[in-house]
Each structure stands twice: as C-alpha cells, then as structure tokens.
A = this chain, B = another copy of it.
Amino acid sequence: MTHRVYNFGAGPTMLPTTVMEKVQAEWLDYQGMGVSVIEISHRSPEFKAVLNEAIQLFRKLTNLPENYQVLFMHGGANLQWSALPLNLVQRSSTRKVQYYETGIFAKRAHKEATRYANVDIVASSADTNFDRIPPFDPERVDADAAYFHITGNNTIYGTRWHQYPDTGEVPLVVDTTSDILSWVVDFSKIGVMYASLQKNLGPSGVAIVIVRDDLLGQALPETPSLLNYEICAKDNSLTNTNNTFAIYVAKLMLEWIEAQGGVTAFEALNKRKSAVLYDVIDQSDFYQAVAHPDHRSDMNVPFNLPNNNALLEPFLKESEAAGLYALKGHRSVGGLRASIYNAMPMEGVEALAVFMQEFEKKYR
C-alpha cells in the first residue's frame, strides 16, 4: 500500500490518488504506443485527442455557451494578469479598467495592469486585512471601462464571492484559480474567466482561459503572440508546444470530476466539507476564523490559534505526524490554513476536524 497523506496545501496540491495512479500506470507506455504521453508531439493525433477531449469535457461540465472559447495558456493566472489588459484595454477610450481589491493576488493583478491601463480600484478590503468582499455598488461600474475584474476566491484569506456582480455591458473578468469547478457558475454573465490549473485541475504552469468571442481581436500591438487570446483561439492552444503534461492531467481531472457527479455534486460536497471545519472553529473559542462569516470560502479555511498562534509549531508538527500535510498559513498572514479543493475527500476533512478537537483538548 502506497503511503499517501491528506494534503491541505494551497497549490500545487493534492490530486485524487485514482488520477495519480492512472498517470503512473500509463507512464511508460501510453495507449500501447511504447512512449509516454509526455514524449509525443503536441501535434500528434494522440495528443490533439487529449486536448480536444479536455476542452469538450470542460464545456460539458460547465454548460459553457457556444460563444466562448476554451484556451490553455502558458504561465498560470499570473501571466494572465498581463494578458488581460493587453487584450482588452483598447475597448476603453480612456484605457480605464476596474478592479476589486480583495487580497494580495488581486493587488498584484491590478499592479500588473498599470503597465498598460488606467486602473480604477473600485473597492478594497485592505483596511480589514482582506477578511471580506466589500459590498458591490452597481453605480461604480464605469460604462467606459474595458473590463471589471474580481478575484472569485481569495486563497490566502479564505474569502469568496457567493454571487458574481452584475456589471452590465462592461465585461466581468473573474480569476477563478482557487475555486474553478468547485461550484456551479453561470458563464453567460462573464466576459473572461481564467484559472491556474494547480488547485482544482492539475499541475502548475498553465492557465485555462475562457473568453467570450466578441472580446477577441482587440489586443494591443505589443501583445506577445503567446499572450494573445485571438491567436490562441485560432491555433486551438497550439501556437507553440504547449505544456502537454498539464493538459493531459487536466483531462484526467475533468474525467474524474464528471465521474464523481459533475460540478453540482462537488458544490454540495464542498459545502458539507467546509461546514465541518467552520463548525469546529465556531463551536470553540480556541480557534478563530480569519474570514468574515458572510464571505467564507469553501476551498480555503484559514484560522488562528490563541495568543497570536503561540501553539503554531506543535500544531504543525503533530498534524503532520497524524498524516495531515501542509496546514501552515500563507506567509503574509501566518496562522493555519486548510485548503480543501475538490480532490480532498470528506474523510480528510473529518480527520482534520478530529485532530483539531483533540489538539484543543490537549492544549487549551
């Protein structure tokens, strides 16, 4: 029996053991070809089948409307922070773009946009250490803005948008890196959606990007070809050699999500999983949740220990010994964080809950 722990890392993080075992089983000899899937051309019929199946499965699982492209682009969400203004800023006569600031990654996103655009910070929760999503005021949407950007789930602070804002004619752009395919989203309300793969969909290095057709073809001339949505769409994500390994694993992940009942099933399961942890935290005065109760994420559950996390080291040491891996919070906020993406089974969450209760009894 292979040694596997429950991995609460924020990303790159655990993939389902069944998916990992499939990769391992066909590692040296993919479909009887005598080579690995990572050893074949990105333009071979076998790899194109992988890519196209991944795209079709994503469309099916999300009920994606016909007028959206599904792209796999290099560099993860971070490179999309550059690609987004490069592709869309020309839609605004004043090069205006609007951003919601709900964490460090949201800040880095708008900071990168300042290279190309006039950034308007619509709202920020910096003054409460990003413990919430500031209320949305439709009046703040500028009809001339090229787009309106939000971070759907804030990995570090464990906050999320439960419902996306209605930005009218201004395209809504959502970074869904840490909650993609964890809940049912109505894509027809979105202009662009992007997500790194390495939390809910596979290994690191690539972003999946969903773009509405009418937003293609407006890139600035200085846009590198590989950051241009229209070129990527035209070439079906094969302008150059894409990250074939990541796309292959993403395909396996999408198959696994479908086999488990699809996104609806995961939305229900994820609510139950996060509730187990929030219940332990709320029923105790030992643990304190980081996020405001109205904005809690189902993917990332950051929490603190008493007395400025004085017991952090024993908690990390003992949890790791109990097979509960990577519970340390992000370096910018400290404390603890349990990331419980789709791949984390209920059993892992329950094991953590039991550990937390026993730790409290021992140390309170």
Interface, chain A (partner B; CB < 8 A):
2-5, 7, 9-15, 17, 20-21, 23-24, 27-29, 32-36, 38-42, 44, 74-79, 81-83, 86, 112, 115-116, 196, 198, 203-206, 221-227, 239-246, 323, 325-326
Interchain CB contact under 8 A, A240 and B20:
no
Distance of A245 Cα from B27 Cα, bound (Å) = 14
Q: Inside 8 A of A40's CB, which chain B residues have their CB? A: 9, 12, 326
Distance of A223 Cα from B74 Cα, bound (Å) = 16
Interchain CB contact under 8 A, B24 and A79:
no
Interchain CB contact under 8 A, B11 and A35:
no
- Of the A-B pairs whose beta carbons lie under 8 Å apart in the complex, a sample of 19, sorted by A's number, is A3-B34, A5-B35, A7-B34, A12-B42, A12-B241, A13-B39, A13-B41, A21-B28, A34-B323, A35-B325, A74-B76, A74-B205, A75-B226, A79-B226, A82-B224, A82-B227, A112-B225, A115-B224, A205-B205
B39, B82, B205, B225: the one within 8 Å of A246 (CB): B205
Q: Inside 8 A of A245's CB, which chain B residues have their CB? A: 203-205, 245-246
Interchain CB contact under 8 A, A78 and B239:
yes
Given contacts A7-B34, A20-B27, A82-B224, 17 further A-B contacts (CB under 8 A): A3-B32, A4-B28, A4-B35, A10-B41, A12-B41, A14-B39, A24-B24, A41-B326, A42-B204, A74-B79, A86-B224, A203-B245, A204-B241, A205-B241, A224-B224, A243-B243, A245-B245
Beta-carbon nearest neighbor of A36 in chain B:
B20
B5, B11, B21: the one within 8 Å of A241 (CB): B11
Closest 6 CB pairs of A and B: A205-B243, A82-B224, A5-B34, A78-B240, A74-B75, A204-B241
- Tell me the number of copies of this protein: 2
Q: Inside 8 A of A223's CB, which chain B residues have their CB? A: 115
Interchain CB contact under 8 A, A196 and B241:
yes
Q: Inside 8 A of A221's CB, which chain B residues have their CB? A: 115
Interchain CB contact under 8 A, B325 and A34:
yes
Interchain CB contact under 8 A, A24 and B28:
yes
- Most chain B CB within 10 A, of A35, A40, A323, is at A35
Q: Inside 8 A of A9's CB, which chain B residues have their CB? A: 35, 39-41
Distance of A116 Cα from B42 Cα, bound (Å) = 29
Interchain CB contact under 8 A, A29 and B2:
yes
- Most chain B CB within 10 A, of A10, A36, A222, A224, is at A224
Q: Inside 8 A of A41's CB, which chain B residues have their CB? A: 9-13, 326
The minimal Cβ–Cβ distance linking A156 to chain B, given in whole angstroms, is: 13
B2, B34, B78: the one within 8 Å of A28 (CB): B2
Distance of A38 Cα from B252 Cα, bound (Å) = 15
Distance of A77 Cα from B226 Cα, bound (Å) = 11
Q: Inside 8 A of A2's CB, which chain B residues have their CB? A: 28-29
Q: Inside 8 A of A44's CB, which chain B residues have their CB? A: 326
Interchain CB contact under 8 A, B14 and A203:
no
Q: Inside 8 A of A198's CB, which chain B residues have their CB? A: 241
Beta-carbon nearest neighbor of A243 in chain B:
B205
B15, B115, B204, B323: the one within 8 Å of A242 (CB): B204
